[in-house]
Structure 1
Amino acid sequence: MMRLSCIGALLLINNMVVAQGKEVPQKVERPQIENRVKTINGGTPLSPKALWELGRVSAEGLSADGTQLIYGVSNYQFDENKSEKNLFVVPVKGGKVRQFTSDAGGETVLTIDENGNVLYMFKGQIWQKNLNGSDSKQLTDYEGGLENVKIAPDGKSILFSKAVLLKPYHSVDKYSDLGKSNVYIYDNLDYRHWDTWNDGRFNHPFIASYTDGKIGEPKDIMEGEPFYSPQMPFGGSEDFIWTADSRSVIYVAKKRFGNDYAQSTNTDLYQYDIATGETRNLTEGMSGYDTNPSLSKDGKILSWLSMKTDGFEADKNDIILMEASSGRKVNLTAHWDGTVNSFIWSKDNKKIFFVAPSKGTVQLFEINVAKGVWSKVLPKITQISDGDFDIAGIVGETSTGLIVTSTKMTRAAEVFDYNFKNKSIKAITHVNDAMYSQIADTKVESRVTKATDGLDLFSWVIYPPDFDPTKKYPVLLFCQGGPQAATTQSYSFRWNFQLMASQGYIVIAPNRRGMPGWGVKWNEQISKDWGGQSIRDYLSAIDDLSTESYVDKSNIAAVGASYGGYSVFMLAGVHEGRFKSLISHCGLFDMTSWYGTTEELFFANHDIGAYWDKNNSKSYNEFNPIKHIDKWNTPILIFQGGKDYRVPIGQGLEAFQAAQLKGVKSRLVYLPEENHWVLSGHNAQVWQREFFGWLSETLK
């Protein structure tokens, strides 16, 4: 049955609604979430189940001659609620795809040598198999398994990480006679991080001899130091490298403890000399994040990503070079008004290629470093790709271009060949082509609005598959998290715009203040102004879109997670009737209690400031959602993860309790085993059903 708002007497005549003698556009009936029957433009609307049936592609590496690609595909198995990953090989220029591995467990490539021998990790051990398809061979049998493995360039040593118990925080470690106790005792901060309580174990790099799969006695190169390398919670093998001569290891560590650790982003690069056992800080005096070390192809120049400001996790990310022989350094991108995501060296050492946000997308850039890099002449930076897509990462270089991973809002990641000559990208992998051929496509357009301060505000607008401008559609305003995270052409398996549009909604996703890709000033403007211009940007974007005749202004919702969830809570008190429904996932509701319970205090200190400092009163009053609770009157759905220590459980519970006591239609969806995200497939399906079920209840 078509559901229509009742304004006077309404009659349905010839697919038009007649009200008081005037023709008005007909409202659109939204498809049911699991509808896989209705055909639209040759396909069926994307559903939550179909979304999770898509293969998740990872680029694993290139053969030494750059002609063959190894990639991984993870497929979710609904019955077992887990994913299975296998490796595949395909010629870069096109050809037959060969399955490279098939054992249950998931494999990840380490290296591919000039003879085509592939070293890969499987169930914590190193395995070898040739690209020609010969049988797999297990090389190591290391007790407890290996993590974050790096083989030395000379092949004689191995570098890996493991956790080391250094602090008896857990009662079973502090009191050996009380083995059945479960108590944590702390004297400092850093007592929990992301979704894990600190049990006194710290990740450390270990080195050992390595011969024919035999691993010698490992040595902890940070022995006794209560610091992490790889970094917590997301650091991996990118946090350490071998030098070209295999005599040293360079690793990332934030050598601060407790309260200092929780309030700082000052990671440094340390070089450990194997022969002498000495460690040297290579980035002494550089105060922010220093991460992702790599060497030029000739091994003569160390490069890494660096942020300038201690405590500012979303600071401009620059590429730094350091000459190994002299130690002199240069910031390659200091003069460029942008921030770098990742980079690689060209094979000839003459260029550096990197990816960075650019005007609502993520694109490829290059820097010519062949001449004058150590002089005062600023190197030229050129954007070399352009289009309505994201370049998610660079895999490697071929004779004619770069191998990259790329996404669109309507396409999950695949691997592409970027051609230097014609500056185009061509798909190498086609994992999800068959699925997408059966899914109704959704149109994506850009839109520019004048913000309240007169600046241009860019948004992506995603339309339903059967969009008809003569009809009226409900609208979802998407509020991005971060807060300094970009809304680009990335593809999400939860906040999926194509899925939202496929249920009959128009989605608008503004690039509000705080997002990279629009200059450093635009990105930094949100700090200490969370409830200010960025919230006005959201209202400007939705007001502008609402001028279109196809927008049902009586059925608009605001949705978002993290800072986006905070934005929804803020909008609940200031939207002045614009929204009919709200959805907040792990949002910040009371800035005072949030500051008192979140774990990465460097972020809170920089963006909000301590609540006892009167200079920060705006963050805890005018920009604090709880202070606007008197104006809450809009139905709201609240998601909250039980293991979310970034935005702890009290935030969602406080908001739900306040809404209930005020008599506002509200619902709490509590996910006890999830953190800031939703990682379980079955839980994700529940999330989607509750998300769209709520919208169906509240938007008519």
Structure 2
Amino acid sequence: MDKISALACALLFSSSLLAQHTPAKRVNRTLVTNKIYNVRNDVMTPEKLWELGRVNAEGLSFDGKHLIYGVSNYSFGENKSEKNLFIVPVEGGEAVPFTTEAGAESVVQVTKDGNVIYLYKGQLWLKSLSGGDAQQLTSVEEGLENVKISPDGKHILFSRAVLVKKYHSPDKYPDLAKSNVYIYDNLDYRHWDSFNDGRFNHPFVASYDNGKIGEPIDLLADQPFYSPQAPFGGAEDLAWTPDSKAVLYVSKKKFGKEYAVSTNTDIFRYELASKTTTNLTEGMVGYDTHPLYSPDGQKLAWLSMKTDGYEADKTDLIVFDRKSTQRVNLTAAWDGTVNSFIWSKDGRKLYFTAPTRGTVQLFELEVGQPKKAAGQVKQISEGQFDIGDIVGEVDGALVVSSTTLTRAVEIYLYDLKKKSLRAITKVNDAAFSKIAETKVEGRFTKASDGADLFSWVIYPPNFDPNKKYPTLLFCQGGPQSATTLGYSFRWNFQLMASQGYIVILPNRRGMPGWGVKWNQDISKDWGGQPIRDYLSAVDDLAKEPYVDKARIGAVGASYGGYSVFMLAAVHDGRFKSLISHCGLFDMTSWYGTTEELFFANYDLGGPYWDKANEKTYTDFNPIKHVDKWNTPILIFQGGKDFRVPIGQGLEAFQAAQLKNIKSRLVYLPEENHWVLSGHNAQVWQREFFGWLKETL
């Protein structure tokens, strides 16, 4: 562990994200209105949360002077979101709408002559940054996804789902078109929230002439492989070489059981002229993703994990130099893990984001001669905020997205000399200016093994230390996900605090940002030290006179839900109420029904029939400790959750009911591991807070 003083100094920075800004002029229905915020110092509610605009950066103009960004706004009446694009000067100014059509647009390319090519309803459209009418460029019957246009503008790279295996009965038996049966001979039969219907995402390349597309070539013709990766891969898995002579694509070229137990994705290069394919990451057996060429095209960088099957391994930055033909790990000696990166405009540096000590910050790495650059990582931002995506570099600054626990995503300009953030977008300023602040503080605790354990603590509006407050322990999922200063639209800590609760977010064992070992220590120890970390953190906070020790609850999802199930047996009266969302309850049945087996094999140690893993399926298995359950518990379960399948939540609820423990099941048949529908999310919030009011 690093010295406490380093973070203590960082916590002295007041978040520049919380400064008040003049709201952008409301020029379009997609911008948040001010009608529901007519009472100053109103508290955050589930309804207000979903009325915030959700901002994402789409790109910069070629000269770097304008930002194109998207705003998604949710309609309660229609129970769906509408996304439109906006343009705003990077140096400050009024935001203006760029698209207003119903549907979602995403930027593909901003050209030198000031035009934006964007994807809308599966087709490419072109419109000038200065306005005017949009021109539809393509009319492809099957539609286009994840589009990348070559630098010379003569070719197009895109993806499309292709039927490779006849798993679904109407495909296998065309005369039985009304049947609905799936037939499998191997694993990878379902993933995340859908069964494998035999269609695989494939990359295609074709000639391109101002919207006219030639005969596409399937780069994975007849092969049961994915690119982009399933289920969350996108355009970042595809790239052009700077000379437009080849394309890169990311794929895990494994099938069935081998696919389910491996994380070995590779980066492949396809030559347009010779139609040959080369594996650029041959011999690298973990995740290799996000290929990105330097501005001069002489170097290729990508993100890489070393260990096959370990999805939460340290992520390093690899650079391949074409001149020296060397492939070098630039962050091998650095005790951290990389989130995302971009090249500097001059190609001499890599800027990247990484979790560190309860936040996500900006870092830089001088590339130079690769061997000399190894390990020379420099943190360049510091403060009580998270940095999300790095959009680009403009005149001594970086355009980035950023959040705090009390502010949703906006886009900022980070001045590299002044080390300061300045807001570019101000979509939700009007809304937040009427919402009462919830104070956020960092806190250190001594863990049971003597280690320094950091937590974020969020306090209710108008917090009075002379009063007593009910308190919630939040248990993070992942289990290697970071608890930093991100802003969630469901597990929203500002919302929880606004209902009168103190919330504590421990950075327990398993979270990145505290060194590689701390991150790794949770694997094969799910029910051990991480659970003790939670108890240490909440016990320490409970010493404060303003914590009502008789009204403490524990909540969490996924591994956090598992943690709640484990804590239910070992909390010794600490908690009065528990809430678990899609938590793992029986590790034996979970191993037999989950889909990404590489995760289970690495983090649990392997299958339940191997006696070497006995501790996982006994000591660290919640179902084995139900005899000690005695606390009211609310259980959420998604019907389409194949990561933590439906039986987990149903088993836990049935056990609680049969033990006559006050319990409730909230079953969401159309939701997966998350809750994506706005109306369902409102039900989720009402049940969540209703349960706490009823039991805590």
**TMscore range, shorter length:** over 0.9
- In 1, Cα distance between the equivalents of 2:37 and 2:70? 32
The match for 2:559 is 563
The residue that corresponds to 1:651 in the other structure is: 648
TM-score (structure 2 length as normaliser): 0.94
Which residue pairs with 1:295 in the alignment?
A: 293
Evaluate the alpha carbon distance shift between residue 402 and residue 600 of structure 1 in structure 2; reply closer, same or farther with a 3 A threshold.
Answer: same
Do residues 426 (structure 1) and 422 (structure 2) align? yes
Question: 2:332–2:375: 8 Å Cα contact kept in structure 1?
Answer: no
SS at match of 1:343: strand
Aligned amino acid, residue 626 of structure 1 = I
The structure-2 alpha-carbon separation of the partners of 1:306 and 1:158, relative to structure 1 and needing over 3 Å to count, comes to same
Partner of 2:281: 283
Residue 460 of structure 1: aligned partner: 456
Counterpart in 2 of 1:682?
Answer: 679
Structure-1 residue corresponding to 2:638 = 641
Asked if the contact 1:41/1:440 (under 8 Å) is kept, the reply is no
2:257 counterpart of 1:259 = yes
2: CA distance, partners of 1:489 / 1:43: 22
Match for residue 99 of structure 1? Answer: 97
Shift of residue 144, structure 1, vs aligned partner: 2.0
- Taking the aligned partners of 2:153 and 2:681, their CA distance within structure 1 comes to 43
**Counterparts in 2 of 1:210-359, with a 5 A limit?**
210-359=208-357
Structure 1 partner of 2:482: 486
Describe the SS at the equivalent of 2:636.
strand
Between the aligned partners of 2:213 and 2:35, the Cα distance in structure 1 is: 57
SS at 2:692's partner residue? helix
Q: CA deviation at 1:411?
A: 0.2
Match of 1:179 in 2: 177
Contact 2:367 2:373 in 1 (8 A): no
Q: Does 1:661 align with 2:658?
A: yes
Q: Which residue of 1 is the match for residue 161 of structure 2? A: 163
Return 5+ residue gaps in structure 1 as ranges.
1-35
Determine the structure 2 residue equivalent to 1:673. Answer: 670
1:330-373 deviations in whole A, cap 9, x for unaligned? 00100100000000000101110000001000000000113xx2
Identity, % of aligned positions: 71
Alpha-carbon deviation of 1:540?
0.1
- 2:396 match: 400
| Letter paired with 1:506 | I
Gaps of at least 5 residues in structure 2 are: 1-33
Q: Which residue of 2 aligns with 1:629?
A: 626
Partner of 1:204: 202
Q: CA deviation at 1:324?
A: 2.7
Amino acid at match of 2:480: Q
Amino acid at match of 2:410: E
CA separation in 2, counterparts of 1:359 and 1:659? 37
Moved runs in structure 1, 4+ residues, more than 6 A?
36-41
Paired residues of 1:112 and 1:118 also in contact (CA < 8 A): yes
- Is residue 2:439 matched to residue 1:439? no
For the residue of structure 1 that corresponds to 2:437, the secondary structure is coil
TM-aligned CA deviation for residue 379 of structure 1: 4.8
Q: What is the number of residues matched between the two proteins? A: 662
CA offsets, 1:645-692, max 9 Å, x none?
A: 000000000000000000000000000000000000000000000000
Cα distance, 1:143 vs structure 2: 0.6
Residue 617 (str. 1) matches residue 645 (str. 2): no
Deviations for 1:234-281, whole angstroms, at most 9, x for unmatched residues? 000100101111111111000010000000000001111111111111
* Aligned 8 A contact 1:369 1:379 in 2: no
Q: 1:127 to 1:41 in 2, by over 3 A?
A: closer
Correspondence for 1:90: 88
CA distance in 1, matches of 2:137, 2:271: 27
Write out per-residue CA displacement over residues 588-614 of structure 1, whole angstroms, 9 at most, x where no aligned residue: 000000000000000000000211111
Report the CA distance between 1:326 and its aligned residue: 4.7
Question: C-alpha distance in 2, partners of 1:96/1:186?
Answer: 56
Looking at structure 1, the residues matched to 307 and 438 of structure 2 have their Cα atoms a distance apart, in angstroms, of 41
Q: Give the conservation status (yes or no) of the 8 Å contact 2:365–2:373.
A: no
- 1:136 is aligned, of 134, 137, 143, to 134
Higher Rg of the two aligned structures? 1
1:576 aligns with 2:572: yes
Q: Aligned partners of 2:550, 2:37: CA distance in 1, in Å?
A: 28
Cross-structure match for 1:3? none
Letter in 1 for 2:411: V
CA, structure 1 residues 38+211, in 2 after alignment: closer, same or farther (shift >3 Å)? closer
Deviations, residues 284-326 of structure 1 (Å, cap 9, x unaligned): 1101000000100011111100000000000000000112345
Which position in structure 2 is the counterpart of 1:125?
123
Which one-letter code corresponds to 2:657 in the other structure? Q
Deviation larger for 358-367 or 243-252: 243-252
In the alignment, does 2:672 pair up with 1:692? Answer: no
Partner SS state of residue 567, structure 1 = helix
Equivalent position to 1:527, from 523, 527, 545: 523
What amino acid is the match of 1:285? G
Where in structure 2 are the equivalents of 1:587-598 lying within 5 Å?
587-598=583-594
In 2, Cα distance between the equivalents of 1:345 and 1:652?
A: 45
The SS at the match of 1:375 is helix
CA contact (8 A) 1:368 1:379 kept: no
Do the aligned partners of residues 39 and 577 (structure 1) sit closer, same or farther apart at CA in structure 2, a change above 3 Å counting? farther
Q: Does the 8 Å contact 1:41/1:465 carry over to 2?
A: no
User: Partner amino acid for 2:494?
Assistant: Q
Mapping of residues 36-75 of structure 1, within 5 Å: 42-75=40-73
* Contact 1:156/1:210 (8 A) holds in 2: yes
How far does the alpha carbon of each residue in 1:424-473 deviate from its partner, in whole angstroms, 9 at most, with x for none?
01111100000001111100000000001101000000000021111110
Give the Cα separation in 2 of the matches to 1:144 and 1:37. 42
Rounded Cα–Cα distance in structure 1 between residues aligned with 2:38 and 2:393: 40
Q: Is 1:40–1:465's contact at 8 Å kept on the other side of the alignment?
A: no
Which residue identity does 1:435 align to in structure 2?
Answer: A
Task: Determine helix, strand or coil for the equivalent of 1:598.
Answer: coil
Contact 2:329 2:374 in 1 (8 A): no
Q: Which residue number in structure 1 is paired with residue 186 of structure 2?
A: 188
Whether the aligned pair in 2 keeps the contact of 1:38 and 1:45 (CA below 8 Å) is no
**CA distance, structure 2, for counterparts of residue 254 and residue 446 of structure 1:** 40
Question: Could you say what secondary structure the match of 2:133 adopts?
Answer: coil
Q: Distance in 2 between matches of 1:394 and 1:40?
A: 35
Q: Is the 8 A contact 1:564 1:587 kept in 2?
A: yes
For 1:30, the equivalent position in structure 2 comes to none
Distance of 1:508 and 1:38 partners within structure 2? 29
- The AA in structure 2 aligned to 1:568 is V
| 1:499 is aligned to 2:500 | no
The TM-score normalised by the length of structure 1 is 0.93
Are the aligned partners of 1:558 and 1:581 in contact in 2 as well (CA < 8 Å)? yes
C-alpha separation between the residues in 1 aligned to 2:306 and 2:518?
A: 17
Distance 2:323 2:131 in 1: 42
Q: Deviations over 1:452-499 (max 9, x none)?
A: 110100000000002111111000000000000000000000000000
Residues 1:607 and 2:603 aligned together: yes
Q: Is the 8 A contact 1:514 1:526 kept in 2?
A: yes
CA distance in 2, matches of 1:246, 1:323: 18
Supply the RMSD in Å over aligned alpha carbons: 1.4
Structure-2 residue corresponding to 1:6: none
